[in-house]
Amino acid sequence: MQMYEALQAYNLPDERGHFGVYGGVFVAETLVHALEELRQSYEQLRQDNDFLSELDYELKHYVGRPSPVYYAKRLSEKLGGAQIWLKREDLNHTGAHKVNNTVGQALLARHMGKKRVIAETGAGQHGVASATVAARYGMECVVYMGSEDVKRQASNVYRMKLLGATVVPVESGSKTLKDALNEAMRDWVTNVEDTFYIIGTVAGPHPYPMMVRDFNSVVGRELRVQMPHEVGQQPDAIIACVGGGSNAMGAFYPYIEDKSVRLIGVEAAGYGISSGKHAAPLCSGRPGVLHGNRTYLMQDENGQIAETHSISAGLDYPGVGPEHAWLKDSGRAEYVAADDKQALEAFHTLTRTEGIMPALESAHAVAYAMKLAPQMSKDVVLLVNLSGRGDKDMDTVARASGIKL
């Protein structure tokens, strides 16, 4: 009952960043004050018309918003069921939804007088989006990246350097995204006075999950206007991939109270859920505390964080934003998973039928839509949030086909 009421007039998180039992501020004492300062600045600016119009201007002229919705007609006809529509976040500047958030946070950093920004990155998309806005606003930028990912994503590393950022390879732990996040936190603790930490997804301590959601919710707000206008109705379901969950949260948020719209998050099943080698905490993890919030995590029986696997580096994370944990428990959103093979197949199918090459992350959402559509009638509208473009994944896709570029 309590959950139902909360969703009637959705107003989460609460003042301390809780979504039910999830979220919160689980950080070392040194950061408590910095997070409180950030929360206050953000609370003030999110209601400030000058700030909001500055943000709108940047999203329009720099990012290229609004992004179109596109009817994937040949794909839909091939599948012979529901209509598949795509929200084209792949057309944004830098090629993914990540920039919606980095523009917002960089403007916030500037208002707070911080001249140095840091970021963590896995695939390098958030790192590139952060380095990009740092160049745009004249800020120093340091990006932490697991040394394994530095090897796997060499071209994005070079992109960041071209943009003037310093890329620091992280050698600790599993040398991937979660360790990059740890290292960014360590930098922030050390340089807390002059540094702004741009977190790349709806995770981390409050206010990050709320703030990153708000900045990405431009996607859902556009959809609410575009869908009736161009499709003649709101979607029957919105399907988005979930790594940390920012593109999904951005699309879902303006629809949470509109319960006629199914919200479906697609996690990375890697080699398959039963293999244990995946990145699907909502589908098969347990609640715990990591990176400043309580949420579903991939972990062993001792509470050690498990190593994850996904063909898409951007989904290769053992946690998930706390708001998704809440949406799952409350039943408002459904969470499913697509494995590496299904994502690759979706990648090739979308590329061949529509001439749109999705990011491997987004391909997970496409894969689930392809599974769902044939079981549905032609008047059903599925909206897939196509969170990014696949140029960055050329090497990975080629390697999966046994080709070396």
The residues annotated as belonging to the active site are 98, 120, 387
Q: Rule CB under 6 A: choose which of 388, 393, 396, 397 binds ligand PLP.
A: 388
Residue 105 in contact with ligand PLP, rule: CB under 6 A = no
Q: List binders of ligand PLP among 203-262 (CB under 6 A).
A: 241-248
For residues 223 and 339, give the distance between their C-alpha atoms in angstroms, rounded to a whole number.
28
Q: List binders of ligand PLP among 130-189 (CB under 6 A).
A: none
Residue 234: exposure state from Cβ atoms within 10 A (0-12, 13-18, ≥19):
middle
Which entry of other proteins, ligand PLP, none binds 94, CB below 5 to 8 A by partner kind?
none
Q: In a 3-state reduction of DSSP, which class is residue 71?
A: strand
List, edge to edge, every strand of the sheet that includes 237-241. Answer: 69-71, 83-88, 381-386, 237-241, 262-270, 333-339
CB of 28 to other proteins, least distance (A): 4
For residues 341 and 311, give the distance between their C-alpha atoms in angstroms, rounded to a whole number.
9
CB of 393 to other proteins, least distance (A): 27
User: 10 Å Cβ neighbour count for 247?
Assistant: 33
For residues 119 and 197, give the distance between their C-alpha atoms in angstroms, rounded to a whole number.
6
Residue 340: exposure state from Cβ atoms within 10 A (0-12, 13-18, ≥19):
buried
Q: How many residues bind ligand PLP (CB under 6 A)?
A: 22
Q: Which is nearer to other proteins, 204 or 235 (CB)?
A: 204
Residue 339 gets the label, from left (phi > 0), alpha (psi -120 to 50) or beta, of: beta
Residue 387 in contact with ligand PLP, rule: CB under 6 A = yes
Q: Which is nearer to other proteins, 12 or 367 (CB)?
A: 12
Angle 208-216/218-226 helices, nearest 10 degrees?
A: 30
CB of 317 to other proteins, least distance (A): 12
Q: Which is nearer to other proteins, 70 or 317 (CB)?
A: 317
Which entry of other proteins, ligand PLP, none binds 173, CB below 5 to 8 A by partner kind?
other proteins
Nearest to 92 by CA among 219, 266, 210: 219
Name the residue with tokens 């039963």.
274
Q: Which is nearer to other proteins, 143 or 370 (CB)?
A: 143
Residues 304-323 as x/- pattern, contact with ligand PLP by CB under 6 A: ----------xx--------
Q: Which is nearer to ligand PLP, 6 or 332 (CB)?
A: 332
For residues 381 and 137, give the distance between their C-alpha atoms in angstroms, rounded to a whole number.
40
Residues that bind other proteins (CB under 8 A): 16, 24-34, 172-173, 178-179, 182, 185-186, 189-193, 286-292, 294, 297, 299, 301-305
CB of 236 to other proteins, least distance (A): 38
Q: Which stretch binds ligand PLP (CB under 6 A): 28-36, 159-167, 251-259, 356-364?
A: 356-364
Q: Which is nearer to other proteins, 179 or 222 (CB)?
A: 179
- Taking a C-beta distance cutoff of 8 angstroms, is the pair 339, 284 a contact? no
CB of 325 to other proteins, least distance (A): 13
For residues 270 and 292, give the distance between their C-alpha atoms in angstroms, rounded to a whole number.
26
Q: Which residues are near ligand PLP by CB under 6 A?
A: 96, 98, 122-123, 125-126, 201, 241-248, 314-315, 359, 361-362, 387-388
